Chains A and B, each alone.
Chain A
């Protein structure tokens, strides 16, 4: 630990204790503390913290506020479906449960300010009150006056209050058109490799010695650091890979502590395998030695569909990726020869697979379906209901209005590999029918 946390306003022992809880983030915490000043002093009206996911923003601020026992309210914007909800929770946390009932139904900002001003003198604080707002980027989608008010709430309510905004994106993206009070901006940088090593080594498994565990972490980081720096994902990897190590599986306990080479040899193949599925969150299980589980979420891409649904999906795919004018060529028996080059307009020469699926009307889907499917199919209700069930399964997407009478349009939402697998099961060579592969 390079710098220890020091501030005249707080008990040094307690600060030491707090600092231990946030490895590699002491300097940020120190800056924060000096911004916040001594408890009784007026603080800066608003502070904006930003940095990538899992860089310890919430952790640092919450630990500071909790452990130093400062009055505070923490709300997350995801949870606040309405502004009222946010006000209610702030008042609840700062002034006790009775105050939140004072808010009228669907309160406005001025209601909030009014009640805050009412309540603040009743419970006079000799400490700065803090309002922590997590996922602040969502504030932009709420009322346009909310953010400018929050950053200078101190003036409005005339109280010693500081609003701390946490976000993953920079302040520049927040600034409203009309301009507003600029909060103090504090950046939380990503953890370095050494930091990660230090943090991950902290949750040591009881059956390891600290040296061995940190060697294990070292190997793991050596492999994954280049692709993944997300602490949460690395933690997940540590857990899944731990089961593969000798100590984790409990087979070979007399592994020498210093023998990192042997450790490496033992876990290397597993790490390589895990490398392919980083971020995919394969099925994690405590009993991951079960064979099928190790194949993971991504391996189960196979979908069983009824026979006609398969053909409907194939027809939808063809309709999405072939230009409508080429239908004659593919589905008419005597279409004559049409050359690719002079037949198409200029913009159609780019691969349709690069452009993505195009919408098509229901009629075209059915026309292709009837010509693709090998037997005669009655246009029964269940064929139509299959289309809508394909929509619910998100294999097709419906565009525009829901009015069935008004010729609905669809798009096919599956990938080429998927449709190839499907058409293989019904002995249909889809590539022959795709304009891009002519």
Chain B
């Protein structure tokens, strides 16, 4: 995006604003999702620090006096997301329970000694910063880091806080705040170290109110794998399970993508890339949001018309009126806009292409339409999803994101899956239909921005449905009570009476005949009132889908909001270092863009860098490469590049310079991991890759 320096800054501010809102939204969402598990944990810790000694039954307390209360926090395998959870846990603990929290990571605790040091550093160090008073004697550097030292420190500390003069601000804090030690990644800890640490802790549990928190990525049974019984019997473990990360993703998508509040939209392919990275590779919601951020930045950077992609309507209008001639020209070049122009009357076409003023007005109108389109799109999408998500074999996908992607890709109603879903809806699942349809209007009503008219429509449907429900209930009742009593339930009667007669006749021929008869009656049977209404409702839903779930590509000016370069995103997020190295070595022109390197047949030219030549030559060898042969071949190639006469004596001679260049190239190749030295044969190196010429 090098054109139009004037609106690049505007675009930057827009982008930043939008990102800030998204960030805020995701953070609050994160807190929301973590709240339950964190509150449970907090409650547990509070109970542990106050319970055993005072309130909860003294018997319980006595029985578990020697056990260390431990919380096992099962967080799932999306390790990158855990940091945030632990951070908020730490903050929460420090705010409400205890100032003594130590967070440990496996990589900094290789041995018991370093583990101890870290624990003491975190606990004593943080408190020392807290106090900022001269009288706290600094922790002697040379002293041994043991829990005994910690014990002493804790004693003086709690004595100090109990003297009235130095009361801390939070009055309700228990007199002996617990010491919480968090092991962020239990699996990665050295089992030996962990066992020893717990053994030591259990010796001090009488004097120190210790609480351990284990962060577990896989499953709670790892505790048993890591700790032998003699150690785990010292712990009193309570389990906390966090939300699964797929659920987490659904909520995030719900808030960020399936809403019209955010003007920025990824298109089907981009969304597919992001979701597949999540599902196939890392399960990390944080990485998903990062990917979204990258898409956002790319969109605002490379799409000059993203100035029109703003959150508020007024901003859109303002930016449209301020659009320069150049900006308008780029609007005119948009594919979707040209399509729109072609559909207009000739006069209108001329006006659009010549008058900037008229153009601006049209843009405003179109953008408004786009906004409206989004406003209608999501509620209808939700409705359709609510209807179809519990059908057998879920033809339209279980998750709403799948349905969303399908809708973005093309006309959903032309798909086989949609048709089968509708058929299923119209046939079997009457009672299910009832329940879900009643949900529908609520879904829509929750969306406050939904225009009145649609709300009205839905109310109408709702009324109809309740009517149907009543009839349905009546029919069912009558069916149970007395089938003959109500004349309008003829269909039911027809169904039940052959069934009754069937019980009597047992031979096969008769059975077949009755079945055929039943089929006949069903085919010719008149539609009941219920069915008429049901079909009406389904038709209505179908009409809604057809009018509102059209793919965004049909909308004029959709380029303003939709980011579409999925290949770029994939390249950035799912990097393939091997392939890039391979490309760089086999066709250096791809990166260097030097015309001298261009070859017709895709081979490597003589003028290529030494590394490429050496690589190309090594591909022709087997698993073991003779260095001298390699050098000879190299010298020949380089001589040709120097333009020497093939007949001359110098040709193909190895001089010092070539030798040095060759050695450098070979060691570079070794550094890249293509070859390694071997002891199998002298003067040979081993290839580490397969294939070749």
Contact = CB atoms under 8 A, between A and B. Distances in A.
A32 interface: no
A348 B320 CA distance: 76
B282 A381 contact: no
A279 B223 CA distance: 13
Contact of B146 (A85, A238, A306, A404): A85
A25 to B, nearest CB: 18
Interface string A377-406: 011111101100100111100000000111
B688 A381 contact: no
Given A81-B113, A203-B63, A300 B185 contact: no
Contact of A392 (B187, B237, B279): B187
B567 interface: no
A281 B198 CA distance: 15
B221 A308 contact: no
A425 interface: no
A82 B144 CA distance: 10
User: Would you call the interface of chain A mostly helix, strand, loop, or mixed?
Assistant: loop
Interface in A286-311: 286, 293, 297-298, 300-309
A393 to B, nearest CB: 5
B575 to A, nearest CB: 5
Nearest to B107: A392
Interface stretch (A219-227, A229-237, A261-269): A229-237
A82 B236 CA distance: 30
A386 B279 CA distance: 13
Interface stretch (B72-80, B125-133, B158-166): B72-80
B675 to A, nearest CB: 10
B612 to A, nearest CB: 20
Contacts of B358: none
B280 A307 contact: yes
A281 B237 CA distance: 8
Contacts of A82: 144
Given A76-B203, A382-B574, A393-B218, A297 B237 contact: yes
B576 interface: yes
A70 interface: no
B224 interface: yes
Contacts of A381: 574-577
Contacts of B220: 283, 297-298, 300
A378 B60 CA distance: 57
B188 A392 contact: yes
A8 B254 CA distance: 82
Given A280-B224, A379-B576, A304 B280 contact: no
B244 A235 contact: no
A114 interface: no
A206 B281 CA distance: 56
B281 A308 contact: yes
A398 B146 CA distance: 32
Nearest to A302: B219
B200 A308 contact: no
Given A393-B187, A393-B218, A206 B59 contact: yes
A128 B25 CA distance: 70
Interface residues of A, number: 59
Contacts of A405: 673, 676, 688
Interface stretch (B6-14, B86-94, B227-235, B324-332): B227-235
B627 interface: no
Given A232-B233, A381-B575, A85 B76 contact: no
Most chain A beta-carbon neighbours within 10 Å: one of B142, B235, B236: B236
A105 interface: yes
A306 B144 CA distance: 44
B539 interface: no
Interface string B194-213: 00100110010000000000
Contacts of B281: 306-309, 380, 382-383, 386
Contacts of B20: none
Contacts of B56: 286
B60 A79 contact: no
Contacts of B223: 281, 297
Interface of A: 53, 76, 78-79, 81-82, 84-85, 88-89, 105, 135, 203, 205-206, 230, 232-233, 235-236, 238-239, 279-281, 283-286, 293, 297-298, 300-309, 378-383, 385-386, 389, 392-395, 404-407
The 7 A-B pairs with the shortest beta carbon distances in the complex, nearest first, are A382-B281, A307-B280, A297-B220, A283-B239, A380-B576, A380-B574, A239-B63
Given A85-B144, A239-B60, A307-B281, 15 more contacts: A78-B196, A79-B147, A81-B111, A203-B59, A280-B224, A281-B224, A283-B238, A286-B47, A302-B219, A305-B283, A306-B278, A381-B576, A389-B79, A393-B217, A394-B222
25 contacts: A76-B199, A89-B148, A205-B59, A232-B233, A233-B229, A281-B223, A281-B235, A283-B237, A283-B239, A293-B238, A297-B239, A300-B221, A305-B77, A306-B283, A307-B281, A308-B280, A309-B281, A380-B575, A382-B281, A382-B574, A383-B281, A386-B281, A392-B79, A392-B185, A392-B187
